Structure 1
Amino acid sequence: MTPRTKEQNEEIRLQRLTQIRKAAAEVFLNKGPLLEIRDVAAQAGLGYGTVYHYYGNKGDLLNDLLWDALERAEEWWKDPLKSRHKAQSDGNAGLAVIPASDTGHKGDGDFQRRGQAAATAAKQSPVAVAGICLLQLWAEDHALYLLHKLAVEDFSWLPEARAALLSAAFRRQILTPLAMLLRTGRSANGTASSGGNPEAEPPDWLQYAEMLLAALVGCASLSLRRGMLREEARDIVLLLKL
């Protein structure tokens, strides 16, 4: 048998890490901090020793899982509305997603097909479009949902030092772009949403963004557990009146 090359070994290592982190996200959503390495191994279909080779404890695994998800989420938040432009240009319901090679989900690149909700969303406000896109992204990639869920909880399940670093990065890389989108969306809609009263606008857009994410996380929880988040994304956005 021909020995594997360094490149092949690295590819296998990255595939294993993706597999383990994806499994860990699934287990953590169900068991929270009670997660154990053996649970992750069972979910991933790998031997305990294989997972332990990469992660000797669940703290390091969760920390890496969240930073990896944060990096991918940041890329998405750089242009969460590019799906709207695609939908308008080709008449299809293509929603922007992170490349499948990064998420561990099958796909053909920058875009994957979604349901009819996306086509409807293309006619709605930028904030509504982004909300539907984000919810449907969570439906496919539970690590991204877990990131936003734990961020809303100030990463309280992590050691203080790790939680502080993640909170600061999340605020800078996720909350700030969302706050800008919310403010831009409000401006694009004119004064209708505030009744012409500038005092009706949120005094702190970052705080408003944090509250909105908390609402999305809470509403998504039940649909996610029922396996219906993709289909119910538009209903959630309508409920929140985005």
Structure 2
Amino acid sequence: MSIHKFLQPPSAVHKANVMQLLSASDDLAQLTGGRSLDDISNMPSDDRRAVLRKYLVNEDPVTMQEPVAWSDQESIGRFLLLKRFLNNDRSRQHLLLEARRVFYEENSFIISLGGFSRFLDDMLGDWEDTVAVEMLVRDLTIKVERQDCECGQLMEYIQRLSYFAKMPQLQKITVEWFTPTRNIDEALPSDWSTLSSSNGSKGASLPSATDDDGTSENGGSDETLRWETSDDDIWSLDGDVRG
């Protein structure tokens, strides 16, 4: 018995693609009072960027993971729609590249530790003669399962993360360590409650594994480590005093 794979008629697929592309143009037109893409391209730079920001930027952080085509993140979907609309139009390539810059500069992002390299390679596509992602991103959260980083190597790992201080646009990086298990006391060494460097440089305290505010309702534990650019370049933890 043969099994037949039923596909949509080519006409239906083409119609769906056309409708998607039209929606990108319509969305932008609604944001600009009915202006066409050509009108947007001819806007003053600040006005054009404001339109793209309204179209592509989320208030909440954007979670980046592959495959991005399956993402339910609105800003990703809109960018990919715009890319499909403009990708083969050489006369409007500058608008697409400007949209890419706005997407990476103006959004804040959440990525997994394992997906970090791919994020820097640009999940949105392959580009020629474009600014690297690491030169654009300003706000980044990296989520790390505690089991992915041995506690004894924690300070070494954090020191490696200081590389991001060299990224010219980066204003804040957050590292979220989380434990999916309910009984975290068994998973942590007795000295886990204190974080300090071996050479006596700047350090901060981690909440004890038994503190009320260190355990989430589902029994897991989330501890957030943040670094923001400042005159002092200080590492800090949620709930701690910056020092």
Structure 2-normalised TM-score? 0.29
Q: Relative contact order (C-alpha < 8 Å, sep 6+): which is higher?
A: 1
Point out the structure with the larger helix share. 1
Structure possessing the higher radius of gyration over alpha carbons: 2
User: With structure 1 as the length reference, what TM-score do the two structures score?
Assistant: 0.29
